[in-house]
Structure 1
Amino acid sequence: MMKSRQLNNLLIGCIALFTLTASCKKDDGPKSKAEGIVQNGSWHISKYTDTGIDSTSQFTGYSFTFNESGSVNANKGTDNYNGNWHILDSSNVTAENLYLIIDFNLTNELADLNEDWFFLLLSDSKLELNDLNGNNLGNQYLTFEQN
C-alpha cells in the first residue's frame, strides 16, 4: 500500500512537471513563425514595383539579413547599411494580418523600403509584400527571395 501511494505521488509529480514544461514553451503563433522565417538566412529583392513601374534593378546586388535583435543589414559589396525591422500582428490570430515593418532611416534607394509591408505570401524561400494604404492594397509590391 505504501509503495502504490509513493508511485501515485511520483506519477502525479511527473504529470505536473510535464504540464508546467509544456506550458512554458515558446509561442508558435503566426508572428513567431514569420519572425523565424525572416531571420533564417539572407535575402535578395527579386521584384520591386512602385505604381506599376518595375524598379527592381535599383536593389541589384543587395543582400539583406534580418537579425533577431530587430536590426536589418543591407550589404552591397563594401557598402553596409543598417536599419530596423519587426513583425506586427494586427490580430494575434491569423497570418493574414501580419506586416513586415522596415525602417532604414536613409535617403538612398533603401528609403523606398521604409513601409509597413503586408504579407501576401510567406514561405521559407519567398516573401511577397505590398504596402498597405489605409485598408486597401497600395501601389508598391516587394518580393524577397532566399539567397
Structure 2
Amino acid sequence: MKKVFNLGFILMLSFTLMSSMCSSDDDDNPNNNSQQIAQIEDNVQTGTWRVSNFIDSGENETSDFSGYDFTFNMDGSLVASNGTNTFTGTWSISDDSNSNDDSNSNDYDIHFNIFFPVPDSNDFEDLNDDWDIVSATSTRIELIDISGGNGGTDMLTFERN
C-alpha cells in the first residue's frame, strides 16, 4: 500500500512540475496533453462563448459571427445561436502529439476540432477545421490554422460571455 501511495505521489508531483514548464521536450509525455485537454474541455463546457476575433487568410471576418453565442456541450455538440438563427455542429479536442505532420513551423500538439454541417457558402463553414490551440484559459481560447495548400493563416479566438 505504501509503494502505491509513494508512486502516486511521485506521479502527481511529476505532472505538476511538467505542467508548469513549457518546452519542446514536453512533447514526449502524452499524459501532460491529457491533463491539458481535460482542463480545456472543462473550461469550454462552462457558459457561453463568442467569437471575439476571426481572421480568414488575412481578412477580418469577426463580424460574420457577431451576436452569436456558442455553447460547447458535454455530448460533443456545438450550438451557435443569435436568437433568430441556430446552427448545430460538433466539437472535440484531440491530442496530435504522435502526428508525423511537421509542415508548420510551430509545434502545436492539441487540436480543437469544429464541424458545422453547412454549405460551403455559409459563414459557419469557415470555422470547420482541426484548429491548433495557441493558448487556452478559463475565459479565452486562441486558435490558429496554417493552410497546407496556400499557406494562408487563419486565427480564431473565443471569449467567454
What range describes the TM-score normalised by the shorter chain of this pair? 0.7 to 0.9
Deviation at 1:138, TM superposition (A): 4.8
Q: For residue 98 of structure 1, what is the aligned residue in structure 2?
A: 110
- How many residue pairs get aligned? The number is 125
Structure 2 gap ranges (5+): 9-30, 99-107
TM-score in terms of structure 2 length: 0.68
Contact 1:130/1:138 (<8 A) preserved: no
Whichever structure has more strand as a proportion of its residues is 1
- Name structure 1 gaps, 5 residues minimum: 1-11
Does the alignment pair 1:117 with 2:123?
no
Which residue is equivalent to 2:142?
Answer: 128
Q: Distance in 1 between matches of 2:127 and 2:65?
A: 10
Q: CA 1:138/1:119 → structure 2, altered by over 3 Å: closer, same or farther?
A: farther
Runs (4+) off by over 4 Å: none
The correspondence of residues 41-120 of structure 1 with structure 2, limited to 5 A, is 41-91=47-97, 96-107=108-119, 108-120=122-134
Distance 1:29 1:67 in 2: 19
Whether the 8 Å CA contact 1:128–1:142 is kept in 2: the answer is yes
Q: For 1:29, what is the secondary structure of its paired residue? A: helix
One-letter code aligned to 1:111: E
Judged with a 3 Å threshold, the aligned counterparts in structure 2 of structure 1 residues 34 and 78 are, in CA distance, closer, same or farther, namely same
Q: Which has the larger radius of gyration?
A: 1
Tell me how far apart the structure 2 counterparts of residues 37 and 144 of structure 1 sit (CA, whole Å). 12
Q: Distance in 2 between matches of 1:105 and 1:81?
A: 9
- Counterpart of 2:65, as a letter, is F
CA RMSD of aligned residues (A): 2.5
TM-score, structure 1 as length reference: 0.74
* Identical-pair percentage: 38
Query: Alpha-carbon deviation of 1:78?
Result: 2.1
CA distance in 2, matches of 1:138, 1:31: 26
Matched with 1:32 is 38
Shift of 1:132: 4.0
